[in-house]
A and B are shown apart, each in its own frame.
Chain A
Amino acid sequence: ETGVTQSPTHLIKTRGQQVTLRCSSQSGHNTVSWYQQALGQGPQFIFQYYREEENGRGNFPPRFSGLQFPNYSSELNVNALELDDSALYLCASSENRGSVYNEQFFGPGTRLTVL
């Protein structure tokens, strides 16, 4: 069983640019959640995708957007990058089974640096 993978591992961008981060969910999982982890902080929820639809969003501006594909992999897009966007971006996949508990499995993250 393949775990959650993310690409790229590291990325350096400049202010104002756009970036796309990618996440492949674990086999059998239909839900992907994205988190932003600033240095020295805990992860903060950005949004979640379930069966290709956004299914919940945290307190992040619209320049943070996402996609989920039919194979349940996902992309996180950030437009007009700001210095404060520098962080570790984590994705987590899970199998949404309604009210039954489902564990989120995390990927290793993408470290984004904005200069």
Chain B
Amino acid sequence: AQTVTQSQPEMSVQEAETVTLSCTYDTSESDYYLFWYKQPPSRQMILVIRQEAYKQQNATENRFSVNFQKAAKSFSLKISDSQLGDAAMYFCAYRSRPGANNLFFGTGTRLTVIP
């Protein structure tokens, strides 16, 4: 079974600084997707970034980038130039490819941005 572990329940960062959120996962599959989702107080899950396991290049979306280490089963999220609007719960998630479309989520990291 796939498991996703986020070992940092809470993190904080100064506005304009950089922060890295950690995620590890366990799977016996070789092809899969990894995601970072943001859940603000409004509760709606918003996709931040996606990584396909077969791609060696780390995904980047504006100020958000990942460090994907497939052999180590590690998938961290780096937020650069942190903004007040980045404050939220961040969830790491795994999805088989191909297969059912269900996502396996970690327990989340609460990010606080300090002005």
Q: Which A residues are closer than 8 A to B by beta carbons?
A: 31, 33, 35, 40-45, 48, 55-56, 58, 88, 90, 92, 94, 96, 99, 101-104, 106-109, 111
Contacts and interface: CB of A to CB of B under 8 A. Distances in A.
A42 B108 contact: yes
Interface residues of B, number: 23
11 contacts: A31-B101, A40-B108, A42-B91, A42-B105, A42-B107, A44-B105, A55-B100, A58-B102, A101-B52, A104-B47, A108-B42
Interface-centre pick from B42, B97, B101, B106 (highest chain A CB count, 10 A) = B101
Contact of B97 (A31, A48, A56, A101): A101
Interface of B: 4, 33, 42-47, 50, 52, 91, 93, 97-98, 100-108
Contacts of B44: 106-109
Contacts of B43: 88, 90, 108-109, 111
B107 A40 contact: yes
A43 B33 contact: no
B16 to A, nearest CB: 29
A96 B101 contact: yes
Contacts of B103: 33, 35, 43, 45, 104
B105 A48 contact: no
